[in-house]
Amino acid sequence: MRFEAITIKDIATALGLSTSTVSRALRDSHEISVETKKLVRAYAEEHNYRPNPIALSLKEKRSRSIGVVVCEIANSFFSQIINGIESIAYDRGYNVIISQSHESYKREVIDLNYLASRSIDGLLISVSMETTNFDHLKSLHNKGLPIVFFDRVVDEIDTHKVIIDNSTGAYNATVHLIENGFKRIANINISEHSFIAQGRLSGYKKALQDHNVPIDEKLIRYCEHGGQDYAELEREMDALFAQKKKPDAVFAGSDTMTMGILRYFKSRKMRIPEDIALVGFSNSENADLLQPALTVIKQPAFEMGKKATELLLKVIEAKRPDKDFENFVLPAELVVRESSERKK
Amino acid sequence: MRFEAITIKDIATALGLSTSTVSRALRDSHEISVETKKLVRAYAEEHNYRPNPIALSLKEKRSRSIGVVVCEIANSFFSQIINGIESIAYDRGYNVIISQSHESYKREVIDLNYLASRSIDGLLISVSMETTNFDHLKSLHNKGLPIVFFDRVVDEIDTHKVIIDNSTGAYNATVHLIENGFKRIANINISEHSFIAQGRLSGYKKALQDHNVPIDEKLIRYCEHGGQDYAELEREMDALFAQKKKPDAVFAGSDTMTMGILRYFKSRKMRIPEDIALVGFSNSENADLLQPALTVIKQPAFEMGKKATELLLKVIEAKRPDKDFENFVLPAELVVRESSERKK
DNA sequence: TATTCACCCGATAACGATTGCGTAAAAAAA
DNA sequence: TTTTTTTACGCAATCGTTATCGGGTGAATA
């Protein structure tokens, strides 16, 4: 079952012209007479002619499509980013091919191979949490594939990057907890190796230092898989609460983990914020409807997608390689709700 | 900045062969000698040769990509469906181009034009809530584009369809409310014209009839835009509660509306389920974390995406058109939680 | 009258890969 | 030895489009 469309050749034979003439007429070349143009345009319009993008791609050596790799699209933060990406790509005539790594390094490598073989013009990627070796990305980058990193970026590759100000976001959240009277603030973070976790950890530590709260390394824990796997999160939480000096607040380092921790507390009948306060990174639209309404650090995901795409298209459409790369930093916003209410 | 890959021609000149020989060697043709094959394969391997999919598409008149149109990807139900779609498409070597209609008819038409111009091999679509005229779809279908509908299907177009058993889902939810002692059960539904709303409404009515609860048309309301726009939902809810005989339970017809209604109740300080019970269609992963934990009708979204994709690929890859179309119906599952607890 | 331009258009090659057909050389059969 | 067959490869067309080059016609200029 195939779906056949009208071609320039069809128009040419129908009107007794050559394909070159038809092509030029449609592109409004000055070397075609006004009558011929009219004739061709009318026929094309009538038969709903659309240039074959595949033929164009082959000729122009560009596919007008960009690849996107994220860990998971069923995650508010990333689906909002994708909305931002699509909003720009769509306007500029690019289509977007989305792949999910599901936080697996292996899957990320496969995804990239696949995208490269689909001859994408450029790549937008937020690397998986498992990824510590970046050779697959370096190799593509060296071959000249335009790449823009967003959110989880790779320091060692020199290109545009769009990130959240993780450090300030974490700082503000931690300060907020300190000011509300919490003393033992735990930090459950994503993979220790990740760029994101490092920023968030530094903001957390700086806030404690600035307020003369001692840093207790036992209150800092990491989930290598970012809490995609609830069992992993549960293990880390159990370890955290098995300690003698228990935390009175938890600051969570990702959307999935924030929800997972909330689930953990509820299952253990821990009252929030009376027994334990909770603040976390989250872009859920419904954080205000949760029990309790959650204090979150919200990230400008849509803007991030937009900005990353704009930068990528700039590189793709640049006549000559530009070595002047941007490191664009977007602010995170603290939204205060019940889950971090002042200790009585 | 362009990203150049090795071609068959490069291999041919490097080895002093013709492109035909190289092509045949790579496809393991019997008319190429064993040594030549070895030579070519080794060179291709070493230089990481990948056939150019665009050139193949042009030759084979197929793009190995399928278009997907949904209203919104930042919606658990649809992002889970997309996960299902990708899981199959990926394995079969197809890539997926996703477009969002944002529940706008106009945008849906633009999306389809765009996808058609990108020469997709097939289309998976859940039509927008605004869409009542299906000419844009009929036209593509008549031109031979393989289409499979999912969730929000179009009756008048004869092709494969994958739907949820909306009627039974709604029936079970309504019966559950009746059995828990609720008497005046309102139904807030999506656009009245939609296939989905009709199924859900019929299940709702049947449940009332089977239990001798009178049907009160004043308790049935529709949101044309499906609650994407909170103001619209608010207007309908205000109208519902402005009545003398107020409802004691609400059954909501979509994910967005369920969340919107919960927000509405909370903002009016209405207690759930004491003042008003709530049950709704929702695929949110976190319905159990809400206040109160929400009784939902959960749909097998991932399965739906898988099934629809399998059917589409069957049509695309069929040698000859098959007129025997499936109407695949998936069950919805009622998950009981606090928001519909028995009246004291 | 001869030359020079515009003007308008067609033929051809190219993008990368596949494929039917043709053919030289080697091997097998007569 | 001659003829036939087999082996192993190259040529060229094709998919749809555009860029380059070249050419014919008629009018304006020398």
**Measured between alpha carbons, how far is A249 from A174 in angstroms, rounded to an integer?**
10
Q: What is the pLDDT of residues A231-287, one digit of tens each?
A: 999 999 999 999 999 999 999 999 999 999 999 999 999 999 999 999 999 999 999
**Measured between alpha carbons, how far is B273 from B251 in angstroms, rounded to an integer?**
12
Nucleic strand D within 7 A of Cβ A33: no
Number of H helices, E strands in chain A: 12, 12
- Contact criterion met (CB < 8 Å) for A292 and B291: yes
Of A50, A114, A143, which is closest to B3 when you measure between CB atoms? A143
Mean pLDDT, residues B336-341: 95
Nucleic strand C within 7 A of Cβ B59: yes
Nucleic strand D within 7 A of Cβ A7: yes
What pLDDT was estimated at residue B3?
57
Structure tokens belonging to residue A179: 């000011």
Q: Report whether pLDDT(B2) > 60.
A: no
What pLDDT was estimated at residue B343?
67
Confidence category of residue A297, pLDDT binned at 50, 70, 90: very high
Q: Report whether pLDDT(A39) > 90.
A: yes
Q: What is the pLDDT of residues B241-268, one digit of tens each?
A: 999 999 999 999 999 999 999 999 999 9
Distances (CA, A) of B280 to B63, B97, B178, B221, B259: 40, 30, 15, 14, 9
Q: Report whether pLDDT(A302) > 60.
A: yes
- Contact criterion met (CB < 8 Å) for B73 and A79: yes
Q: How far is B329 from chain A (nearest CA, A)?
A: 24
Q: What is the pLDDT of residues B35-63, one digit of tens each?
A: 999 999 999 999 989 999 999 999 999 99
Spell out which residues of chain A touch residue B2, defining contact as CB-CB under 8 Å. 61-62, 144
What pLDDT was estimated at residue A115?
87
Of A63, A293, A318, which is closest to B1 when you measure between CB atoms? A318
Mean pLDDT, residues B86-102: 90
Q: Which residues 10-69 on B are within 7 A of strand D at the CB atom?
A: 16-21, 31-36, 55, 58-59, 61
Size of interface A-B (CB pairs under 8 A): 148
Q: How far is A214 from chain B (nearest CA, A)?
A: 33
**Measured between alpha carbons, how far is A80 from A164 in angstroms, rounded to an integer?**
14
Q: How far is A50 from chain B (nearest CA, A)?
A: 6
Please report the domains of chain B, with CATH numbers, ordered by start residue. 8-51 (no CATH), 63-164+301-330 (3.40.50.2300), 166-299+333-340 (3.40.50.2300)
Calculate the average pLDDT of chain B: 93
Question: For C20, which residue's CA is nearest its C1'?
Answer: B20
pLDDT cut 70: percent of chain B above it: 98
Mean pLDDT, residues B7-33: 94
What pLDDT was estimated at residue A18?
94
Structure tokens belonging to residue B304: 């739906």
**Measured between alpha carbons, how far is A143 from B153 in angstroms, rounded to an integer?**
45
**Measured between alpha carbons, how far is A338 from A294 in angstroms, rounded to an integer?**
6
Q: What is the pLDDT of residues A54-72, one digit of tens each?
A: 999 999 999 999 999 999 8
**Measured between alpha carbons, how far is A106 from A128 in angstroms, rounded to an integer?**
10
Spell out which residues of chain A touch residue B1, defining contact as CB-CB under 8 Å. 144, 146, 315-316, 318, 320-321
Q: Which nucleotides of chain C does any protein CB come within 7 A of?
A: 7-20
